[in-house]
Every structure is written in structure tokens, then in C-alpha cells.
A and B are shown apart, each in its own frame.
Chain A
Amino acid sequence: MTTEQQTYVAVCRLDDLTRESGVLALVAGEAVAVFRTHDDQVHALSGYDPIGGACVLARGIVGTRGGVPYVASPLHKQGYDLRTGRCLDDPEVSVPTYDATVRDGVVLVTPGARGA
């Protein structure tokens, strides 16, 4: 159990995260955008928009494009796949993703980007 507590950072209560929106959380010093989709899945991406060069992704519009759950950057509306961090408008670009889950009504994110 102790290992698990170190593995996860609690971000907020699921109830406080509106469906189809995001919040920015500080996860082990990194700015992570955490999203909740309409079916109550949670996803975590780096909050930093690499094209716009600002930490704004958590404030984007959340929806689907061709069935892919995504967030549109508030700066120039590029879409990012919430599951993979892949940019839907530029195959060269992607953002780091994080493991996120809900336990006992609390949204938890694993520090350290996946695959990093």
C-alpha cells in the first residue's frame, strides 16, 4: 500500500471535475492537464501546448473528432488525442501523457510521463 501512495498524486475529487472539461494539476512539480470525458474516463496530458508555447491545454474544449476523445488548444485550436497525446493536426507533434485513474471518487495521476 505504501508503494501505491507514492505512485499516485491526488488531484481533485471527480465531482469537482466537470464532465468534458479539464483542470491543471501540479504533479511532482510538473503541470499536468487532467480531463474527464462524458463517460467519466479520466486522462492526463502535459499541460504545455508545444505549438503555442504556453501552458494552456487544460482550458481547451473537450469533445470527439472522428470518435477520438480530444482537447482543442485554446491558442490555435490544434486537437490532441486525450489517450495518446498525439496531435490530430500535425503528425510530428505530440504531448507527454500520464497515467490517470479514479479511486474512491478521487482523481489520481502517476508522476512522470508515460514512456519517459
Chain B
Amino acid sequence: MSPHHRRTLVVVGHGMVGHRFVQAAIERGLTETHDVVVVGEEARPAYDRVALTSFFEVGAEALSLLPEGEYDDPRVRLLLGRAVTGFDPGSRTLLLDDGHVIRYDELVLATGAAPFVPPVPGHDLTGAFVYRTIEDLEAIRDAAAGARVGAVIGGGLLGLEAAKALADLGLETHVVEMAPRLMAVQVDDAGGACLRRHVEGLGLTVHTGAMTTAVLGQERVTGLAMEVDGGLEARSARTSTSVDADLVVFSAGIRPRDALARAAGLDLAERGGVLVDAQCRTSDPHVWAIGECAAPGGRMYGLVAPGYAMAEVAVDALLGGDGAFTGADLSTKLKLMGVDVASFGDAFATTEGALELVYADAVAGVYKKLVVSDDGTRLLGGVLVGDASAYGVLRPMLATPTSAGLPLPANPEELILPVTSGGSGGLVLPDEAQVCSCNDVTKADIVAAAAAGETTRAGSTCGSCKSLTKKLIEDYFESVGKVVDRSLCEHFALTRQELFEVVAIHEHTTYDAVLAAHGTGGRGCDVCKPAVASILASRLGGHHVLDAAHVTIQDTNDAYLANIQRNGTYSVVPRIPGGEVTPEGLIVIGEVARDFGLYTKITGGQRIDLFGARMEELPAIWRRLVDAGFESGHAYGKSLRTVKSCVGSTWCRYGVQDSTQLAIDLELRYRGLRSPHKLKGGVSGCARECAEARGKDFGVIATEKGWNLYVGGNGGATPVHARLLVGDLDTETLVRYLDRFLMYYVRTADRLQRTAPWVDSLDGGLERVRAVVVDDVLGLGSELEAAMERHVGGYFDEWKATLDDPDKLRRFVSFVNAPDVPDPHITFREERGQSVPGEPTGPVSLGASIPVGAP
């Protein structure tokens, strides 16, 4: 087609599917022949609605699917904040709400769905919300600030997600579900009961068999009225009851937004949705519909994966291809409130002759069910609650109307038994197995991409396939001989976390014992020795890193309790908790620096670093500092560095809490704590955040009501903002949660893994951290607190202890046989009035005439 005959394609709706359509149109060359105009009613470009709830933690920007705000193809025009109010298939024009008319050659409807709000009295009171857009969540967050109790109508997948969000916003939360169990569409009675125990364990109140009859209140919501089933004994007795609530969220299902098509006279499906054929074409040949507004073959899909498939099919059809949408896998796997839930295939065993295999562990809160064919050779469906780790291997086995699935192994129950008692372990997936259902990526696609050094979209949408994808990539690299060894080093076939556990279980107290019991041969190296040193230091109270049993395994900075510099000298960093220092303290530091000729600099961590100390001078320098009341700042250790403060309410006209005091208290509490990587904290006195607390591993920001606790931030090579763990805490609870958070990190992180990547590496990410630290789902809370108490109780200043111990001081000499001769390799020059390292000299000989002391 000549460029003079460019055609116009209009996409209505810039949601997840509309966006995918445009991406595919650009990638596959549709924009070579078509100008694309996208009209979106929401004010912002498409965003990840699947991850909507994380808005509360990461904010709107992080969710954006088009962070640049425009496509980098100039033939695509994005009109946002404008709705299409109607179109006329006869003249192929459409009308915008601002009065503009656009002529189209092809029209793609991607208008999505809208939450269904049952028409009960009071449904439109102030304080009643739905849960679909970022604006909805902003409104809910604002309303929650002045509210105490929230109720969610609907105990399905989205309802539970909304309920968790309300609970996280600090509301006492009720879930009201009409069906007799939670997630009635996906799980069976036993699975629902298991899920309910988890949900109630998090402190939410669940009402099942409860029909909302009215939202109570005059102008504002004050509560809910409902009718509740009497239960088994009294099946006739339905009782009326009510709960108080300051806000209500409707999550009672969705309805396709098919009004435009209806008004234009297009065919609709019986149960709603724009009726389309297998190519996503509507009853008008120039109008297409994709995503949640569409009903291919009369059926509407409330998930993103089928929508993405429709987007690809429609682009293909517009390019003249013959791709078809043939239905979709409605399997669901998600993490609700830190609980794994998966449901797939014929979860309710409706197939003739189907058999059920059930594994339940009420104590652990695990329920797993497989539905298999009558001869036991085919997997028809299943439900997993509490532990869905088997989902990855089960899904490709699933027999569906369009695929026979993989044959089941001889003992299918093995697939759901806990791994320790047999379990699914090393099952081999065939190439065509679909690993990512959101983006239709098979194992073969992933392996091919890995081989080409590329990536696929697998894992980028709901994330449930991430671990399997990662495993496949690792397996691939292993198969071509690249070592993706997760073991610490050649001496230990264990990760740091595993090593931590074996050290704890066997109560090892020395490196040699650990090496003898768990090593794979050899004497250890500069990787495992410091790692074990850190583990032992975290575990053993009253332990000095320079004790004879430990000194040779310390990392080389710890081994001299100072940071080595390029010329072999050391820096000295006294602790200055919270950055607060007296004039006398400053004077002492100044005098010491002057007397030893040390270069002096204010660090990025609100304290003072003295550089250029010869190793043998360290004890004398520290003698002066310790006598003046200073102690080690652990700048050399993988341990707590600083807790940065702002002046807070004591001085600042904006401050709402005493942030300096808290920063000092936290720094003193966690000083000396050895950890997988260094740790930094910050405390700001108000939301202006002058202490940059969100750039720290743990950050605290004062609020009117207390403290917000953020975790997992850092500056450095890959900056990340810390994310809100919990809000409005009193100081005591804050410290308790921090104790737990830090100890959990110390125990489970990898070597040299800072908190941000550690949080991301946990299955469930920040949710998991919250479940463990705040909700205490593992029941580890008091143990972690006790471990921290032991650390706090056992703390002593390691520099003072070194000065008091002649054995430890012996190592601080220039030459073992000539302690009075300074190392001639160290030279200085002057820069800006202070001394700095001179150029490297190469090996220097002093000549044989220097007198040497006898041994």
C-alpha cells in the first residue's frame, strides 16, 4: 500500500490489553500501513492492573506499562483522559466526549470490564468504593485514613485482595461472601475452609453464606446489613445481622463494558460482552473486540492472559494472518495474603468418573487436591491451598479440551506429597509445555531465548511462573556446561542460608568444625571463611572477631578492625550514633587526626573518617578515641553502619517526632550486628524525609500517629527505595518488628545480598516479609526477637576489648621481626592541605643494614 493511502486504526481503551495490542501492532509492522489512534478514558497510560494492589507500596509510576508516556513509534497517537461516547459503523466515525469526531478504517474495542455493584440500598453512599483503577485505590487510601473498620462485599479472588489491602491500611476488616465458602469459583469446600483459616489467622473476620441486604448510613457509610445462612442444623433459619463499617468496597464480580457496541447495534453475547469470532471480529467486519469487553464464542474471560492472546490474534488478522483464539487456560495461581492458592482445570471433579486425590495438613494449613481421570492416567484439575509449589509441574500435565496434557506418573499422589516425603522434585517438562500462561510462553521459547542471550515475557505479568522460568534457564545453562552453582564456593555445596541453618542446628562454634562437618575438601577460601565468620558472629554472643579461634577467617578489614586503603594504610571511623556529636567529641577527633597526621573527611553516613593510619598506629589512635568515649563504628564490617537522622521535632518547625533520639536508639541497639551485607538505617522527623530514610535498608518516617517503617532500600550501585512494611507504629512495636526483620534477614539472606534483593528473592517478596515479621505466620517472632536480645545483651566495643588484650594487640606491627621500622612502601603527598597516598613505589628495599631484632 502506498503511503498516500495510509489507513486509520482506532483503539478504544488503553488498558492492559489495548496496550498489548498496540505493542504487537508496532512489533509486527501494522503501523507500516496504519496510523493508530488510541483513546483512553483514564488519565494515565496503561498500567499493570493485575498488580494494582501493590500501588499502596510502590505508587502509580512503578505500575506503568508505558513509563515514557508515549510509544516510540510516531505513527501511534495516544489520547488520554478522553472517552469514546459512541460510534457509527455506517460512516465509520466515532465521537469523543470532548465533541471531536474521528474517522476510522478499523476499530478495536478494548474497553475492559467494570466492577459489578449490586443495587442494594445505600450502594452509592459516600464511603462505598470499587476496586479497579488507581483512582479507586487513591480514594480508598484517603478514606481509610479516617476510618476504623472496613468491609469488602465479595470473598472471591479480588475481594480477598481488596480485604488484605484494607487490613494493611490498618483497618479492622470484614469479608462478606454470599457463597458458603471463600473463592467459591476456584476452590472446593475443604480448600475454602483451609483458606478461611489462613485469612482469619491474619485477623480478618469472614462471613460466608452472607447476603448483603443494604449498606447502612445517611450520607456516609456506617455499616452493612446482611442475611446469614443458619448453617447445617437450621437450614431454614436465615438470620439478619449487621456489622459496623466506615467504608465498604464492592468486589462482587465484573461486567464487560459492552455499551458502545450495544448502542451501535453489534451482536452481544447472551451473558454480556461483545460477541466476536475466533479472529476477534465483531458482527461488523471493521470492528474488533479484545480483552475483557469481548466474548469470543459467547464467553467472556476475566483474566489478562486470554486478553493478551486476543490482542495478538487481532493484530494477526489485521495483517491478513489466520491465527485464531481457541479458548484459554483459566488456571489461577496466586498469593493471597501470603497464602498460595492455585486452582486449575476441572477443580470440582465434574468429569464423569473423575477421581480425587487429597492431601491435607491442617496444622501446616495445607490442602491439595488432584482430580484425575477414572483410569488415573490423566490430570483433569486440582486445587492447592497453602502450598502451591507443585503448580509449575502440574499445569503442563493438565488435560484440557484442546490438549491431552502430559501423562501422569505411576504414583500421582507423589505430586502433592510434601517434598520431604518423596515429592515432585526433578520432573522433566516437554518443550511444548506452557510455562507462562499470561504471555503464552512455552518451555521451548524460554530455552531458545536463554540460548540466544535474550529474554521472554514469561514472569512479567502475574509473576506466578517466575520460579519455574528461572529454574528452566538455570537448567539450560547447566546443560550446556555453564556452572550455575548456587553453592557458596568450592568448599561448601551449601548456600549461606543453608550454612546458617546447619551451624545453628549443630551448634558449631568454630570454622574448623563447620569445615570438618560440612566442607567438601580443601581448607576454605576468602569467600567461605568470611561468610562463616559472619554467621558465627551473628550466632555467638560475647564473641570477639579477633579471638584466636576466629581471627584467620575474618574478612581482611575485620581482621584489623579498620578499612584498608589503596596504599595499605587504614581508615578509622568512630561511631557517632545518629550523627550527633558534642563539641568535645569533635575536638578529640580533631586532635587525634592532627597528632597522627590523618586525612579527615565527613562521610556520606553522617560521621567522620580519618584516613591514612598505618596498621601499627591503630591501637594508639583508638586508645585516645576510646578514652574520650568513642567506640568502633564498624565501618569495616558487614554489619550496621549508621542510622542517619534528621533533627526532627526538637528543632525543626515541621518535625512531628524526635527522630534524632530514635536514630540514636536504633543505632545503639543494632551496632555490631554482623549481617550478610552492610546495613544502613535512617529516621526522618516528618514526611519531608531529610534523613533519606527510604534510601536505607530500614527507614523510619515519623507520622502524627507514630512511625512508618520502610524496608529494603539502598543507594549504591542499584538504588532502590525502601517500601512501607507497616504504618503508624508506636516505638515499642517498631523496635519489635525491626528486630524480627533484621534477624530474619541475617538468617536467610545470601552472602553479600543486601536487603532489597533479599526481599525480592523471597517467594512472595515484601508480602512474605510482612507475613513473617508483622503477621508472624511462621511463629518465629519471639525467637527472632530473642536472638536480637542476645545480640544486644552481648554487645561490647571490639576496639576497647582489643586494647585490653595484649594477645590481640600483637598483630598490629609493621614487621614481625622489626616492629620499629615503618613499612617503606607507604608514602604520602599533600593535597588541599592534608596528606593523601603517594604514588605506588613498587617493591622497596631498605638494604641489609637495618638492624633486625632476634625472635
B116 beta carbon closer than 8 Å to chain A:
no
Chain B residue contacts of A64, Cβ below 8 A: 522-525
Looking at B359-367, B473-481, B558-566, B677-685, the stretch in contact with chain A turns out to be B558-566
Q: Interface residue count for B (Cβ, 8 Å)?
A: 47
Chain A residue contacts of B557, Cβ below 8 A: 74
Given contacts A13-B855, A29-B850, contact A23 B551 (CB under 8 A): no
Measured in the bound complex, the distance between the Cα atoms of B566 and A53 in whole Å is 8
B818 beta carbon closer than 8 Å to chain A:
yes
Measured in the bound complex, the distance between the Cα atoms of B532 and A22 in whole Å is 20
Contact check: which of B567, B824, B855 meets A11 at CB < 8 Å? Answer: B855
- Asked if A29 and B566 sit within 8 Å, CB to CB, the answer is no
- Asked if A31 and B844 sit within 8 Å, CB to CB, the answer is yes
Taking CB as reference atom, which chain A residue is nearest B556? A74
Closest chain B CB from A58 CB (angstroms)? 9
Taking CB as reference atom, which chain A residue is nearest B533? A61
- Asked if B850 and A48 sit within 8 Å, CB to CB, the answer is no
- Asked if B816 and A25 sit within 8 Å, CB to CB, the answer is yes
B75 beta carbon closer than 8 Å to chain A:
no
A114 beta carbon closer than 8 Å to chain B:
no
Chain A residue contacts of B716, Cβ below 8 A: none
Chain A residue contacts of B849, Cβ below 8 A: 29
- Asked if B529 and A61 sit within 8 Å, CB to CB, the answer is yes
Q: 0/1 per residue, A31-67, Cβ < 8 Å to B? A: 1001001100000001010001111100111111111
Chain A residue contacts of B817, Cβ below 8 A: 9-12, 25-26
Measured in the bound complex, the distance between the Cα atoms of B810 and A26 in whole Å is 17
A18 beta carbon closer than 8 Å to chain B:
yes
Measured in the bound complex, the distance between the Cα atoms of B559 and A53 in whole Å is 20
- Asked if B845 and A65 sit within 8 Å, CB to CB, the answer is no
- Asked if A31 and B815 sit within 8 Å, CB to CB, the answer is yes
Q: 0/1 per residue, B491-505, Cβ < 8 Å to A? A: 100000000000000
Measured in the bound complex, the distance between the Cα atoms of B490 and A75 in whole Å is 22
B854 beta carbon closer than 8 Å to chain A:
yes
- Asked if A21 and B556 sit within 8 Å, CB to CB, the answer is no
Chain B residue contacts of A60, Cβ below 8 A: 526, 556
Given contacts A18-B551, A66-B490, A74-B556, contact A54 B815 (CB under 8 A): no
Chain B residue contacts of A37, Cβ below 8 A: 523
Give the interface centre of B564, B566, B817, B825 by most chain A CB atoms within 10 Å.
B817
- Asked if B825 and A12 sit within 8 Å, CB to CB, the answer is no
Given contacts A53-B566, A63-B524, A106-B855, contact A29 B552 (CB under 8 A): no
Which residues of chain B in 795-854 are interfacial with respect to chain A, using CB atoms and an 8 Å cutoff? 810, 814-818, 821, 823-826, 840, 842-850, 852, 854
Given contacts A53-B566, A56-B564, contact A24 B815 (CB under 8 A): yes
A90 beta carbon closer than 8 Å to chain B:
no
Closest chain A CB from B387 CB (angstroms)? 40
Taking CB as reference atom, which chain A residue is nearest B557? A74
Chain B residue contacts of A74, Cβ below 8 A: 556-557, 559, 564
Q: Interface residue count for A (Cβ, 8 Å)?
A: 48
Chain A residue contacts of B321, Cβ below 8 A: none
Measured in the bound complex, the distance between the Cα atoms of B821 and A24 in whole Å is 12
Given contacts A61-B529, A64-B525, A74-B564, contact A28 B855 (CB under 8 A): no
- Asked if B526 and A63 sit within 8 Å, CB to CB, the answer is yes
Measured in the bound complex, the distance between the Cα atoms of B628 and A115 in whole Å is 52
Measured in the bound complex, the distance between the Cα atoms of B817 and A18 in whole Å is 15
A19 beta carbon closer than 8 Å to chain B:
yes
Given contacts A63-B529, A75-B566, contact A10 B854 (CB under 8 A): yes
Closest chain A CB from B490 CB (angstroms)? 7
Closest chain A CB from B721 CB (angstroms)? 31
Measured in the bound complex, the distance between the Cα atoms of B555 and A63 in whole Å is 13
A87 beta carbon closer than 8 Å to chain B:
no
Contact count A vs B, C-beta below 8 Å: 131
- Asked if A75 and B846 sit within 8 Å, CB to CB, the answer is no
Measured in the bound complex, the distance between the Cα atoms of B850 and A18 in whole Å is 26
Chain B residue contacts of A24, Cβ below 8 A: 814-816, 823
- Asked if A62 and B840 sit within 8 Å, CB to CB, the answer is no
B568 beta carbon closer than 8 Å to chain A:
yes
Taking CB as reference atom, which chain B residue is nearest A60? B556
Give the interface centre of B551, B564, B615 by most chain A CB atoms within 10 Å.
B564
Chain B residue contacts of A62, Cβ below 8 A: 552
Given contacts A46-B843, A61-B555, A65-B490, contact A26 B850 (CB under 8 A): yes
A20 beta carbon closer than 8 Å to chain B:
yes
B587 beta carbon closer than 8 Å to chain A:
no
Measured in the bound complex, the distance between the Cα atoms of B847 and A111 in whole Å is 11
Which residues of chain B in 504-555 are interfacial with respect to chain A, using CB atoms and an 8 Å cutoff? 522-526, 529-530, 548, 551-553, 555
- Asked if A21 and B552 sit within 8 Å, CB to CB, the answer is yes
Given contacts A74-B556, A106-B855, contact A53 B840 (CB under 8 A): yes
Given contacts A10-B855, A48-B842, A59-B560, contact A26 B821 (CB under 8 A): yes
Chain A residue contacts of B564, Cβ below 8 A: 56, 59, 74-75
Given contacts A11-B855, A21-B551, A54-B825, contact A61 B525 (CB under 8 A): yes
Give the interface centre of A56, A64, A75 by most chain B CB atoms within 10 Å.
A56
- Asked if B816 and A11 sit within 8 Å, CB to CB, the answer is yes
- Asked if A26 and B555 sit within 8 Å, CB to CB, the answer is no
Measured in the bound complex, the distance between the Cα atoms of B826 and A96 in whole Å is 20
Chain A residue contacts of B566, Cβ below 8 A: 52-54, 75
- Asked if B526 and A20 sit within 8 Å, CB to CB, the answer is no
Closest chain B CB from A59 CB (angstroms)? 6
Contact check: which of B525, B568, B823 meets A65 at CB < 8 Å? Answer: B525
Chain A residue contacts of B850, Cβ below 8 A: 26, 29
A100 beta carbon closer than 8 Å to chain B:
no
Taking CB as reference atom, which chain B residue is nearest A75? B564
Closest chain B CB from A94 CB (angstroms)? 13
Chain B residue contacts of A65, Cβ below 8 A: 490, 522, 525
Closest chain A CB from B524 CB (angstroms)? 4
Chain B residue contacts of A77, Cβ below 8 A: 526
Contact check: which of A12, A52, A63, A72 meets B522 at CB < 8 Å? Answer: A63
Measured in the bound complex, the distance between the Cα atoms of B385 and A70 in whole Å is 51
- Asked if B552 and A20 sit within 8 Å, CB to CB, the answer is yes
Chain B residue contacts of A12, Cβ below 8 A: 816-817, 855
Chain B residue contacts of A30, Cβ below 8 A: 843, 845-846
Contact check: which of A13, A26, A70 meets B852 at CB < 8 Å? Answer: A26
Chain B residue contacts of A66, Cβ below 8 A: 490, 522
Chain A residue contacts of B840, Cβ below 8 A: 53-54
- Asked if A38 and B854 sit within 8 Å, CB to CB, the answer is no
Measured in the bound complex, the distance between the Cα atoms of B845 and A106 in whole Å is 24
Q: A31-B824, A54-B567, A107-B855 are in contact. List 11 more A-B contacts (CB 8 A).
A: A21-B551, A25-B817, A28-B848, A31-B844, A46-B843, A53-B567, A55-B825, A63-B522, A64-B525, A72-B556, A74-B556
Chain B residues close to A by CB (< 8 Å): 490-491, 522-526, 529-530, 548, 551-553, 555-557, 559-560, 564, 566-568, 615, 810, 814-818, 821, 823-826, 840, 842-850, 852, 854-855
> 4 closest Cβ contacts across the A-B interface?
A53-B840, A74-B556, A54-B568, A72-B526
A-B contact pairs, 5 of them (CB 8 A): A11-B855, A30-B843, A63-B491, A63-B522, A63-B525
